[in-house]
Amino acid sequence: MSTGTLTETSAFFAERAAHVDSPDGDVRPGLEFLGARDLLGLGAGSDGGPGLVAAAELIEAVAGECLSSAFALWAHRMVLEYLARGRSGPLTGELAARLRTGELTGSTAMATALRDVAGIEPVPVRAEPTATGLRLSGPIPWASNLFPGAVVVLPVRTGEGRAVVVVRVGDPGVTVAPARPLLALNGTASSSALLSDVDVLGAAVLSTDLAGFVAAFRPTFLVLQTAFCAGLAARSLDEAERGLARADAELADDVAEHRRSADALRARLRDLARDTRAEPATAYIRLRLAAARLAVAASRLESTVRGGAGYLATSGTSRRLREAAFLPIQAPTEGHLRWELRHSA
Ligand SMILES: Cc1cc2nc3c(=O)[nH]c(=O)nc-3n(C[C@H](O)[C@H](O)[C@H](O)COP(=O)(O)OP(=O)(O)OC[C@H]3O[C@@H](n4cnc5c(N)ncnc54)[C@H](O)[C@@H]3O)c2cc1C
């Protein structure tokens, strides 16, 4: 990714971060900005390479300014990943084209798929066969980017089997609950949804092999999540370093140690993004776990160094503290990642 593109992107998101974080925030103008530059689908469907590295660098840069926007970008980009990997046809082709420009918003409701495949809990949405496809009923406990018309990808249970399907917010039977105030990420239209007898055509079924589908996209999923953790961590450490110049030299060693960890993590992220089949799944799990922890620790360190100025509710420091609190509870959660590592030992 060129330095010019990253600089332009950072400037765009920096200017809007406070508003996006506010109760009236909305991440869609950011997605449209990136869509107009054809940056939303970088590397989608590849097993790593320059496109995926560029996507990670873009998400990192956005996260350095605004985690809400970086998270929305990740979710949107993952929907393009699913469409690229699923069964192709005119329906999914048209949706992918409109997602790439930012005209439509993509919502990934796949947290329950990761838990199902890990053997923790079955997916909650049931699907019955119909003459033309599937009829879906059940809850989506959480998803982001649930804007009108959004393209939502979710797993469903077909008896003992599983499938991955596409629905649209606004389809008959899809009810999105009003979004409630959150600690952060308020501009991301994050909420729950209920599906009641939602009919989808066979063309909207991306896969009937959930385990295979998850195994194929998961390294990319984790790489791009790691990117927004790394972007937030790097920004917090930049701010901590700036703060040290004025005051708390006592914390200099801590900041330097976190910086070394952040640099190593970003190098590892690029390595793993170059070829997502080169290393076992545990490498991606370890990377994502380390990234979320580092971002939480870095945002706390930034706050400690910045003192009272950082405690002002309107400061970037306090926003990053709130944003970082999301990372251990985003699927796969810290508990889930640690559980997977223990069971794969
Ligand atoms: C603002 C927001 C936006 C979201 N956006 C999306 C989205 O776009 N798409 C999406 O799919 N999901 C989304 N989610 C859901 C998110 O990814 C997690 O699935 C969700 O936050 C987990 O919360 P839960 O209450 O279901 O916790 P649970 O999954 O019930 O976990 C509760 C606790 O148990 C731990 N735990 C979980 N599994 C295990 C295990 N096997 N062993 C040990 N401990 C375990 C967890 O770490 C956590 O501490 C969003 C959530 C929020 C809050």
At residue 247, the pLDDT reads 65
**Three-state SS at 294:** helix
Kind of pairing, strands 106-108 and 151-158? parallel
Q: Which fold, 106-210?
A: Butyryl-CoA Dehydrogenase, subunit A; domain 2 (2.40.110)
Query: So where are the chain's domains?
Result: 3-100, 106-210, 211-344
DSSP string spanning 80-109?
HHHHHHS---HHHHHHHHHHHTTSS-EEE-
| Ligand 1 atom with minimal separation from the 339 CA | 42
Amino acid of residue 196: S
CA distance 133 to 203: 8
Ordered per-residue pLDDT tens for the chain, 345 residues = 899 999 999 999 999 999 999 989 999 999 999 999 999 999 999 999 999 999 999 999 999 999 999 999 999 999 999 999 999 999 999 999 999 999 999 999 999 999 999 999 999 999 999 999 999 999 999 999 999 999 999 999 998 899 999 999 999 999 999 999 999 999 999 999 999 999 999 999 999 999 999 999 999 999 999 999 999 999 999 999 999 976 667 899 999 999 999 999 999 999 999 999 999 999 999 999 999 999 999 999 999 999 999 999 999 999 999 999 999 999 999 999 999 999 886
Q: To which H or E segment does residue 21 belong? A: helix 3-21
Residue nearest (by alpha carbon) to ligand 1 atom 45: 335
At residue 160, the pLDDT reads 87
Q: How far is the CA of 270 from the centre of ligand 1 (A)?
A: 26
CATH number corresponding to 3-100: 1.10.540
Which residue(s) pair with 128 in the sheet?
A: 135
Pocket test for ligand 1, best of 77, 105, 142 (most atoms within 8 A of CB): 142
Residue nearest (by alpha carbon) to ligand 1 atom 48: 335
Highest CATH level, class, for 211-344: mainly alpha
Amino acid of residue 74: W
- Cα distances from 334 to residues 149, 327, 330, in angstroms, run 32, 8, 8
Pocket residues: Cβ below 6 A from ligand 1 = 75, 108-111, 120, 141-144, 182, 185, 190, 329-331, 333-336, 339
Looking at residue 327, the DSSP 8-state letter turns out to be G
Q: How far is the CA of 37 from the centre of ligand 1 (A)?
A: 33
- Cα distances from 147 to residues 31, 45, 59, 70, in angstroms, run 12, 24, 21, 16
- The phi, psi pair for 44, rounded to 5°, reads -60, 130
- The tokens of 27 are what? 């991440």
